[in-house]
Amino acid sequence: MSRPRILVTGGTGFLGKLVVPLLREKFEVDVLSRSGQTEVQGDLTHWNADLNFETLRSKKYSIIVHMAGLYDLKGSYVDCFQHNISAMGIALKVAEALEIPYFLNTSTVAAAINSTLSTVKPYDLNFSKAFPDAYSDSKALGEQVLHNWPVKNIKSRINLRLGVLVGDTKKGRIERIDGPYHAPESFKKIRPLIESLPTALPLPGNESVKMPIVPVDKAAEAIVKFCEWALTEKPEGYKSFHVTPTYGLTAKELYTATLKRLAIPNKGITLVSKVPKPLMMKVSSLVARFPEEELFYLMNFPTYDTEATRKVLGPSWCPEFKEYEQAFWSGYEAFVSNRRN
């Protein structure tokens, strides 16, 4: 009996490089990219993605996994629109033309960063106020395109809002410094200041805010399981899920772990949330070189509802930070070491 065939976009990225090998264990997989080194050559920023629909339709894909997009909190609105909104429409058009019944999209928790809910539901989108950056705005609009797409051949559109991706649970490998990895970079720059303070170190944060970090290998495993779920359960219509940990990591936990790892003497940590956020972010950016865009998320992450996700993936699919902390630091140190060479 032949295995189902999957068409993948974004298969050569940080996440995709782990997803594709796992998919190949269970499915026939064709990766679409501009590289010229994959099964299908195409460009989602071009009309019809430069594809020959007649030829590809004969492959009878069961699922398209759409991971392609631009992740850049400093990206321009034009670039983010092209890669996260326009490309979403082209990917959906490809799925319709190729009569692919299931469309699985990897979005981001940033799409709901400005939600007014205390606990954000997987379907919640709030456009009543401005987003903090073009990236989150474009990802939210991309979700809206996916949700409202006038389907004909697509039976179900499945949206996965991934948490903040960090290194894998084995070696912690990363490809760039972003998210929680800015903490050690910043603390190393102000080490003399930290050591000289006679009192606890005041840092931006709020105890009620938790960073929804997810090891990239666990995110990859989750995507594969959702593909299996789609082919088994055969859902219909639009479905959205938060692919985030049950608990997450508080700012204080991140700061404490970072100072301990760097062996920086200190008198403790006091989280500061009462100072106006724009002022606190500007001061932190100037003193510690901690990007303002990253600080905004650290200060404003809501709680994400994961009940539906746990029903598909199980209650303990994503380990908490303490369970892979050693790998997290090993990956960071390996990256920093290679960067200096």
DSSP letter string over 209-273? -EE-EEEHHHHHHHHHHHHHHHHHH---EEEEEEE--SS-EEHHHHHHHHHHHTT---S-EEEE-
For range 215-232, the mean pLDDT: 98
- H and E: helices and strands count for the chain: 13, 15
Check pLDDT > 60 for residue 284: no
What DSSP state is assigned to residue 85? I
Are 190 and 283 contacting, i.e. CB atoms less than 8 angstroms apart?
Answer: no
Tell me the CB-side half-sphere exposure of residue 322, using CA atoms within 13 A.
4
Q: What is the mean pLDDT of residues 89-118?
A: 96
- Return the pLDDT at 208: 87
- Which range, 62-66, 269-273, 293-297, has the best average confidence (pLDDT)? 62-66
232-237 mean pLDDT:
98
- For 330-340, the pLDDT digits (tens) are 999 999 998 76
Most confident range (mean pLDDT) of 35-39, 72-76, 215-219, 266-270 is 215-219
Domain boundaries, the chain: 5-165+214-243, 166-211+247-302+319-332
Q: What is the C-alpha separation between 157 and 92, in angstroms, rounded?
A: 9
The larger pLDDT score, comparing residue 157 to residue 201, is at 157
pLDDT at 252: 94
Q: Which is the CATH superfamily of the domain at 5-165+214-243?
A: NAD(P)-binding Rossmann-like Domain (3.40.50.720)
pLDDT of residue 292: 73
Tens of pLDDT along 192-222?
Answer: 888 998 999 888 888 889 999 999 999 999 9
Mean pLDDT of 31-57: 93
Q: Running DSSP on this structure, what letter comes out for residue 159?
A: E
Q: What percent of the chain has pLDDT over 70?
A: 94
Residue type, 248: G
The answer to whether the CB of 173 falls within 8 A of the CB of 239 is no
Q: How confident is the model at residue 320 (pLDDT cuts 50, 70, 90)?
A: very high
pLDDT at 286: 44
Q: State the pLDDT confidence band at 280, using cuts at 50, 70 and 90.
A: low
Tokens of 324: 């892979």
| Across 247-256, 290-299, 311-320, least confident range | 290-299
